[in-house]
Amino acid sequence: MSPPDDASIDNATCLFRRVPPQQVTRDRNRGTLRPMSGHFLGTEMSVVLGDQLEAAGRSPESAVGRHTDDFLVCGTAQCVRDEEQGVVHTEKDDEAAHGDVVGNKPKPRARRFANGARWVIEPPTDFEPFGG
């Protein structure tokens, strides 16, 4: 059975996800920092919908909200749909642009999300991930 999916959310819509500092790792193969794949596990993954931010006249950076020490990544609705996921708008009291990516996210899928995420607010060049 396919997960719920809101067809009114365009495939090109950016899906923003906060990344706490403790969820950043060094990708030894690429020599870059990326979110940990564990940050993309679960059946519901909170995101902030770029189309909703734009409609409200907000910048992508506003998606971190009160979590000012967090970093921010994005991917598109098309990318998650290509991975058999649905995208739904699930407005919250503190975030009108909140959404969820719904569907099973086994480790290989979560790893692809982590590797494909693009930094919007990236760690500084001297950032050292927790645990080395």
pLDDT, tens digit (0-9, with 9 covering 90-100), for 13-39: 999 999 999 999 998 888 889 999 999
Residue 32, strand partner residues: 27
Tell me, what's the pLDDT at 131? 62
Q: Please give the average per-residue pLDDT across 108-128, as a whole number.
A: 94
Tell me, what's the pLDDT at 132? 54
Query: Tell me: the pLDDT tens digits for 61-111?
Result: 999 999 999 999 999 999 999 999 999 999 999 999 999 999 999 999 999
Q: Please give the average per-residue pLDDT across 37-56, as a whole number.
A: 96
Residues 6+ apart with CB under 8 A from 116: 75, 79
- Rounded to 10 degrees, what is the CA torsion of 124, 125, 127, 132? 150
Residue 74, strand partner residues: 16, 118
Q: Please give the average per-residue pLDDT across 37-52, as a whole number.
A: 96
3-state secondary structure of 9: coil
**pLDDT band, residue 125 (cuts 50/70/90):** confident
Q: Per-domain residue ranges for the chain?
A: 14-121
pTM for this prediction: 0.94
- The full DSSP string for 35-87 is E-GGGG-SSEEEEEEHHHHHHTT--GGGGGTT-TT-EEEEEEHHHHHTTT-EE
